[in-house]
């Protein structure tokens, strides 16, 4: 492969990404595409390389748009071929996007990103900062190598590693959102733990939104505490500021002003901000929130990535990972009662019976490990009945459960349309809103993955489902009547479940 072809490939790929950005492709996907290496340019194809097998599946979903922009940039029809890099042990041969092959959704935890090397020789002594605290022992175990990555969280995982190693300065702010219990805090703490272990030149501070609010209120009301100006200096001295559960700040107008003063100061000096919430930036500005449109747009000005609920495959990997790590920790730390044995068949049953909260899945595994130890100490063994009983206790069937069917029927009744029209292929204007709303409600009110939602709405694609969700979120921020209409429908569904 000639040097000229490599240069042409790189230039063409850069043009393609520019065109995709102009076509409003989301920032997370653009970031993933930028991480791919343009390897070769032939007469009819651009070949790019990635070391993540997941990336090929993601690109495949965007194939028509990418190849449209590729052909436009090249001024001739071209196809795109994705080749897995040599470091990928799963497969190294070229993969054409027109092929349809199944691949594992879980990638290796180790990163192939180049490591950041701090300049220790020229580092000046940093004044003491009261925000610098030791990481609690329990949180010190929340590292990247203990994070179980799958399709539902891979973009957030990769973005967090980019921020942690300090190489990619464009992920600023990094905003991670998703429902409670899906691993957001793990990623935030993993960033902090990585920096603490590998780069003493950077001060990384983790704060929950509640702690940040308390810091501000104390500085304003407690004469013995550092004044507001001192608090501002301390926060602005931080190199990487992590704020968790930022939705808990949304009613504190004074704190929000202070936060964005800090935000602007840090960004203007090239320092990193990482935020996490249970909803997207645009949703943070809804209802009684004191976040205005300017605030939410600033939070959304870097890279925004979501974490979705785990499917069976990821739940199985979570169960296996928790099982192995808990047994290993128990052995190393001499913890009694955690050395029970759970067979592979029972772990598969656990994944099948588990809910979608990763936090609860971890507790589920721990409980069954302890039960397995108790039964083995009496000459018995863990059984299927034990797993089923434990799952029923962890996820009671008596709880209200909203199903896709509930949502579809409610939307059909509200908009006076048939089920066939809701899930069918007709593109009448009067059907678009109810269809988008039904898909959005399904994403908000159930644990279905985007792929599952697509199947239940006439086998729609992942991209189509994402478009519906984005459409509803956008219109809700612009049209108060629409916002209230959707909220009312959501409340009715919850009440009748």
pLDDT at 104 over 50: no
Render 259-295 in DSSP notation, one character per residue.
HHHHHHHHHHTT-EEEEEESS-HHHHTSTT----HHH
Reported as a single tens digit per residue, the pLDDT across 390-403 is 988 888 754 556 78
**What tens digit of pLDDT does each residue of 30-81 get?**
767 877 888 888 888 998 887 665 667 778 778 888 999 998 888 888 999 8
At 382, the pLDDT band (50, 70, 90 cuts) reads very high
Beta-carbon neighbour count of residue 310 at 10 Å? 27
Give the number of C-alpha atoms closer than 13 A to the C-alpha of residue 350, restricted to the C-beta side.
32
Residue 401 pLDDT: 65
Computed over every residue of the chain, the mean pLDDT equals: 81
Higher pLDDT pick, 109 / 155:
155
Comparison of pLDDT for 76 and 487, the residue scoring more: 76
Quick check: 210 pLDDT over 50?
yes
Distance in angstroms (rounded) separating the CA atoms of residues 254 and 236: 17
Lowest pLDDT segment from 6-15, 95-104, 128-137: 95-104
CA separation, residue 182 to residues 275, 307, 357, 396, 449 (Å): 15, 7, 6, 19, 13
pLDDT at position 495: 65
Q: Work out the average pLDDT over 83-103.
A: 39
The DSSP 8-state label assigned to residue 201 in this structure reads T
Local confidence band at 88 (pLDDT 50, 70, 90 cut-offs): very low
Q: What percent of the chain has pLDDT over 90?
A: 27
Q: Which fold has domain 404-496?
A: Chromosomal Replication Initiator Protein Dnaa; Chain: A; (1.10.1750)
pLDDT digits (tens, 9 = 90+) for 113-143: 445 455 555 455 555 777 777 788 778 889 9
The whole-number pLDDT of residue 174 equals 93
Q: What is the dihedral of CA 258, 184, 445, 322, to 10 degrees?
A: -160
User: For residues 189 and 205, is the Cβ–Cβ distance under 8 A?
Assistant: no
Q: Does the 144-306 domain belong in CATH 3.30.200.20?
A: no
Please report which helix (H) or strand (E) contains residue 216, including its range: helix 209-221
Fold of 8-84: GMP Synthetase; Chain A, domain 3 (3.30.300)
For 242, the 3-state DSSP assignment is: strand
Place of tokens 């990997």: 317
What is the distance between the alpha carbons of residues 40 and 49, in angstroms, rounded to a whole number? 9
Cβ proximity of 186 and 215 under 8 Å: no
pLDDT class of 85 with cuts at 50, 70, 90: low
Tokens representing 400 are 């209200």
**How far is 226 from 215, CA to CA, in rounded Å?**
9
DSSP code at position 424:
S
Whether the per-residue pLDDT at 102 is higher than 80: the answer is no
Q: Reading across the β-sheet that carries 174-177, which strands appear in turn?
A: 204-208, 240-244, 272-277, 174-177, 303-306
- pLDDT at site 242: 95
Q: How confident is the model at residue 309 (pLDDT cuts 50, 70, 90)?
A: confident
pTM for the full predicted model: 0.60
User: Residue for token digits 């490939």?
Assistant: 9
**Stretch 156-166: mean pLDDT, rounded?**
90
- pLDDT, residue 55, reads 65
Predicted local confidence at residue 346, as pLDDT:
93
Q: Is the CA virtual torsion 10, 12, 15, 20 positive or negative?
A: negative
Q: What is the pLDDT of residue 113?
A: 43
């Amino acid at each position: 492969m000639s040097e000229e072809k490599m240069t042409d490939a790189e230039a063409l790929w850069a043009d393609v990404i520019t065109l995709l950005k102009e076509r409003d492709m989301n920032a997370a996907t653009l970031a993933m595409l930028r991480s791919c290496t343009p390897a070769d340019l032939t007469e009819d194809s651009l070949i790019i390389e990635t070391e993540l097998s997941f990336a090929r599946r993601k690109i495949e979903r965007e194939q028509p748009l990418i190849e449209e922009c590729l052909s436009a940039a090249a001024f001739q029809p071209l196809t795109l071929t994705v080749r897995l890099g040599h470091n990928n042990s799963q497969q190294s041969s070229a993969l054409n996007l027109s092929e349809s092959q199944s691949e594992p959704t879980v990638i290796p935890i180790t990163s192939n990103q180049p490591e950041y090397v701090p300049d220790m020789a020229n580092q000046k002594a940093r004044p003491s900062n009261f925000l610098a605290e030791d990481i609690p022992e329990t949180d010190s175990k929340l590292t990247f190598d203990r994070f179980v990555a799958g399709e539902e969280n891979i973009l957030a995982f990769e973005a967090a590693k980019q921020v942690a190693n300090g190489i990619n300065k464009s992920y600023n702010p990094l905003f991670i959102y998703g429902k409670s219990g899906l691993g957001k805090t793990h990623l935030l703490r993993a960033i902090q733990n990585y920096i603490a272990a590998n780069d003493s030149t950077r001060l990384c501070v983790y704060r929950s939104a509640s702690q940040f609010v308390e810091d501000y209120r104390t500085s304003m009301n407690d004469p013995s505490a550092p004044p507001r100006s001192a608090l501002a200096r301390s926060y602005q001295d931080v190199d990487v500021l992590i704020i968790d559960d930022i939705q808990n700040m949304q009613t504190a107008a004074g704190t929000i002003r202070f936060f964005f003063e800090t935000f602007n100061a840090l960004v203007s000096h090239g320092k990193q901000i990482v935020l996490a919430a249970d909803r997207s930036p645009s949703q943070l500005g809804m209802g009684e929130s004191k976040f205005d449109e300017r605030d939410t747009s600033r939070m959304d000005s870097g890279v925004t990535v979501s974490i979705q609920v785990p499917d069976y495959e990821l739940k199985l990997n979570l169960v296996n990972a928790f099982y192995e790590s808990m047994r290993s920790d128990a052995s190393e730390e001499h913890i009694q009662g955690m050395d029970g044995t759970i067979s592979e068949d029972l772990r598969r049953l656990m994944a099948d019976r588990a809910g979608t909260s990763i936090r609860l899945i971890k507790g589920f595994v721990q409980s069954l490990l302890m039960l397995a130890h108790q039964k083995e100490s009496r000459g018995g063994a863990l059984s299927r009945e034990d797993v089923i009983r434990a799952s029923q206790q962890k996820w009671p069937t008596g709880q209200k459960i909203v199903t896709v069917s509930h949502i579809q029927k409610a939307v059909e009744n509200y908009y006076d349309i048939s089920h066939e029209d809701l899930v069918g292929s007709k593109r009448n204007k009067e059907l678009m809103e109810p269809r988008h709303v039904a898909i959005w409600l399904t994403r908000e009110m159930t644990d279905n993955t985007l792929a599952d939602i697509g199947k239940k709405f006439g086998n729609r694609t992942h991209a189509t489902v994402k478009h519906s969700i984005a459409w509803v979120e956008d219109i809700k921020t612009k049209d108060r009547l629409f916002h209230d209409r959707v909220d009312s429908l959501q409340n009715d569904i919850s009440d009748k479940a």
